[in-house]
Amino acid sequence: MGNDQFIWRNLPVLLRSLLSGDLRSFLIALCLMLPAVVICLTVHECAHGLAARALGDRTAERAGRLTLDPLAHIDPLGFLCMLLLGFGWARPVPVNVSGFRIRNRKAGMAIVALAGPLSNLVLAFVSYIVALLLAYKVQSDAMFIQTVQMFFSYIGALSVGLGVFNLIPVHPLDGSRVLDAFLPYRIQAKLDRYQPIILLAVVAIVYFGLFDLVINRVDNWILNLAVRAVFQFL
């Protein structure tokens, strides 16, 4: 396969349909992905705030970030990148580690950081269950049912991508906060000097599909869990 074919195959659905000139596919993907991206990013950021609140820090609560209102969380540029490139970001949730009830503040920050990606994986699991139930319990050829099923499948796939991407241990991603909990400050300072270069390398790896193997494995694992859960109740 040529390099141009490799790049084309790994472009996100919305960007690929836009560049292909297929207006109908683009509009359908856009109408489904707009709310799906909003839901994924909103749940992710709200989970950070809820985790911080559970540990005693009320900074996010005072800033109005313990909400599922997307206007409180969405960053326009990050939202656009999520739509077109398959990865993006929202407005960071403010956290004050001095408000934590636990002594190990680095561990507390790691818990807050993990809450976002884990919420996305849970959201993906629930979304896949809904999509599967629509497929098996509501056996209909109606376009509306198929569209709703596709919508929840989009939420599942986007949630997995967002969650796994954020677990990469590179600043400013959530995985870096988890890694910091296990590293001495001296080593953190050394790594921080190379963070911009490392982040650009990670973005390139993700953009060209080289990270797809990890995302696909996690996605398949969550989907299989959802299938088992659905068949338990069928």
Q: What residues act catalytically?
A: 45
Contact of 57 with 100, CB cutoff 8 Å: yes
**Could you write out the DSSP letters of every residue in 208-231?**
TTTTHHHHHHHHHHHHHHHHHHHH
Cis peptide before 172 (omega within 30 of 0): yes
Contact of 222 with 121, CB cutoff 8 Å: yes
Contact of 94 with 65, CB cutoff 8 Å: yes
Q: What angle do CA 58, 75, 212 make, to 5 degrees?
A: 105
